[in-house]
Structure 1
Amino acid sequence: MPAFGSKTFRRATTASSTLGERLGTLYRAKLPRHPFLLFGLPFISVIVAASFVLTPATALRYERHDRKVRQLDQEEAMALGLKGENGEESIRRNPRRHVIGSDRDEYYKLMAKDLDDWEQTRVKRFKGEPDGRFD
């Protein structure tokens, strides 16, 4: 008698796993012949569908954040006295309006500086801090 029998091993089929096993076997058998149809197309469709599903959720997130920031800004403005009780601007000007200029203003400020004639100076170090010199 040989060490191993000539019959191939087959599992006993159960009613609960028969359909799943058959579908899995069929899918694995057809996958090498039609890889894009059975793997690529479902993958791409899931990615596109997820994009359409997640877009409103992301928009909702940013809208809630904007509402929260706007509410805090109004509370801060009233606390600083920049807006009156009824929401209209007070007589005081916004101090940040003059600090932040437009891009054009910044461009002209940089163009007015002489960037070719400059001198490198060392920054003063604290006492006991190494300054990188080897004297």
Structure 2
Amino acid sequence: MPTFSSKPYNPTPSVFNSWSSRAKRHPLLFFGMPFVLTMVGASFGLAQLTQTRYDHRDMRHRKVAKEEALGMEKNRRQFSLQEEYWRLQAQEEEEEEDWQQVRIERPPGVDQ
């Protein structure tokens, strides 16, 4: 019975073997650099994303003038409390002139 040879069977060096040997010699190059590049790239990506978020929020919550918020025109007439009082008094007097007290019928079964 033949004995097994002490050399492992490796007819041609594969790509994996060559990368594996390089990674063993230079671990920083194959593991550290991709990690650092990922962290730096992610920080720039997140900065862009958060800036877009804050720009969108500022656009929705922008400061508006008091007249704009109430939907008022800038060339409106000035409000005078005294004139408003007189206007309401005139309306009240007009309503009092047309008003009449009318008695309604009592519901059935109710005594006077």
TM-score (norm 2): 0.44
Larger radius of gyration: 2
TM-score (norm 1): 0.38
